[in-house]
Chains A and B, each alone.
Chain A
Amino acid sequence: MTQQNRNKNRNQKRKRINRPLSWTSKYVEVLLKYATIFSALIVLVLFGFLAYFTLPLFAEGQFAELFSLHWRPFHGEFGILPMIAGTLVLAISALLIAYPLALGICLFIHGLGPRWLTRPILLLVHGMTGIPTVVYGFVAVFLLVPFLRNNFSHGSGFSLLAASLTLSILILPTIVLLINTQLEHIVPALRLTTTALGITRIHELTRVSLPAASYGLLSAAILGFGRAVGDTLIALMVAGNAAQIPERAFDSIRTLTAHIALVVATDSQSTTYHSLFACGVILFLTTTSVNLLLHHIKQRACREGNHE
């Protein structure tokens, strides 16, 4: 049977078989439907709430002040630009560290390493997703930070570098698992052909399989970025939290997420709160656009038949 025929058949099987429903089933279906609509609407309510609390900023004309370089709440300056810069720099540097590592691990799993090691490594990567964020942060504070402090003698060790190293370990399993799922589809399908053509394993992976998995590679990078932007604890515990534009790897930085946590814990003026909600809105919009982008890529991959 050809692929097309098989698909058609499957679709026919999956089609719902319409029988008259008793009134209880109708009732249950409606109930399920409203539960789903409710869960789907939560995200809109969430955004609405945050946006509503940001509105006073527009009304009071403080919106321009929001994008100034200084966070000095006691002088009435609520610039969150340093935090935006901190978030971006931290997320990108963590991604730059984690992504090559993840690629290396995926290549190792799919042919460059011995076969008997693939399962233990996948298990380890799965296990890494189970380690709580706060534990990563904790170990970084007591192992990595003193190490950086003693060996590089630039300040306290709580820095952009420490945070991006820790964060890269946190987002690593996400990236590995996503690329791995893609390669699991692609590699077995291509292996017979490439072996028949006499292509070596390493050529096969780097010249054939990885290009074929380009959508997966792209979405893994985007997803990793999204995770890195959304993480709070690592930045809060390890990055030092000074509200300044980062210039060097040993600078102390503050991210939007850490900023929200810090301000809620300490201040209680209403204007600070408004700028806080602006931070929340920015974070939300960033991760939402990341997710929309992912969705778009997935759909395109499906349409081109690259995914299956």
Chain B
Amino acid sequence: MNKLLNFGIYCWSWIATFGVFIVVGLLLFYLLSQGLPTIGKELFFGDAPVWEAIFGQVRVWDALWPACVGTVFLVLLAALLALPLGISSGIYLACFAPKTFKRILSLLVELLAGTPSIVMGLFGFALILFLRNTFLPDANTSLLLAAACLALLILPYLIFTTQSALESLSDEYRLIGPSLGFNQMQTVFHVLIPAAGRSILSGVVLSIGRAAEDTAVIMLTGVIANAGLPQGLLGKFEALPFRIFYLTAEYRTPDELGSAHGTALVLLCLTGILYSSAFALHKTLEYRWNQHR
């Protein structure tokens, strides 16, 4: 009986592993086989001439370009808002915070990290309702609002990665500063942060990837299907993940379906590049570390 159970567990571990392998393989194969043929000028620019479309002189219809630009703007803006706050919070928590204070603050940040993204979106939506009722009667959902809500979403990731990058440095690094007569601030800024730089950067790239893929937040805060290129901070915009969602729900022609497959492949490649470069940054740091040992 016992033997049978063991054999069952053994088989299960193989089945589970290869089952998941096959599912992910199927997913990638499906996207590649359906998406690759659609990649081309039409997917990105539709009927519009390429150069005019890139510089925004011609409106691009039913194509990817406005969504690409929208996603890039959105992600950069979100990073711009979240980076200073996230990195300085990470530094403070890792190097300066007194113990009990640190525990309370990190618990709150953990709670923020666990909040579902749709709740962040709802918060942005509530903010607009609030502004409409009070100061700005014509406030509306926009690129800036979406970026701010996305910034809330990636803020905890930034804080955690910065904090753990600094905390995982070895004690030798920690002693360099005091041995040279640095004070805590000088140690942090001239020794620890440069040493942990790559890890912190990898965290930044990771959170950018996270911002690029999220759909739920922007759905409630200003993304629409046919906005064209984003018209300033207070305008509506398009984004890649939302375009996939929209086309999946509402495609009418085989062309649009093909375009959806292409979009999914493009988004997958984008996040794939971001995640693997974050991974590579982290790995090279570990490698450099092990060399110095």
Contacts and interface: CB of A to CB of B under 8 A. Distances in A.
A64 to B, nearest CB: 23
A121 B92 CA distance: 36
B209 A130 contact: yes
Nearest to A226: B114
A: interface residue count bin: 35 or more
A67 interface: no
B96 A260 contact: no
A287 B115 CA distance: 6
Contacts of A188: none
Given A101-B16, A104-B12, A230-B117, A50 B175 contact: no
Contacts of B115: 43, 46, 230, 284, 287-288
Contact of A113 (B14, B27, B93): B14
A205 B71 CA distance: 46
A25 interface: yes
Contact of B97 (A21, A28, A36, A43): A36
Given A105-B13, A138-B260, A232 B272 contact: no
Interface string B258-273: 0010001001100110
A135 B244 contact: yes
Contacts of A104: 12-17
Interface string B73-92: 00000000000111011011
B284 interface: no
Contact of A16 (B26, B121, B123, B184): B184
B10 A25 contact: no
B242 to A, nearest CB: 8
A36 B185 contact: no
Given A43-B112, A135-B264, A264-B125, A107 B245 contact: no
Contacts of A128: 24
A33 interface: yes
A288 B19 CA distance: 33
Interface string A121-137: 10010111111111111
Contact of B220 (A117, A124, A261): A261
A31 B87 CA distance: 12
Given A14-B171, A36-B88, A134-B215, A261 B275 contact: no
A29 B184 CA distance: 10
B20 A29 contact: no
Interface string B127-139: 1011000000000
Interface stretch (B54-62, B103-111, B230-238): B103-111
Given A42-B155, A43-B111, A233-B245, A133 B213 contact: yes
Interface in A257-299: 257, 260-261, 264-265, 273, 276-277, 280, 283-284, 287-288, 290-292, 294-295
A44 B19 contact: no
Given A50-B119, A104-B17, A142-B30, A288 B23 contact: no
Contacts of A117: 17
Contacts of A287: 114-116, 119
B279 A50 contact: no
Contacts of B121: 260-261
B110 A295 contact: yes
Contacts of A265: 219
Interface string B203-239: 0000001001111100110000000000000000000
Interface in B178-211: 178, 181-186, 209
A107 B123 contact: no
9 contacts: A20-B183, A37-B105, A39-B86, A40-B89, A50-B119, A130-B276, A134-B267, A273-B129, A290-B114
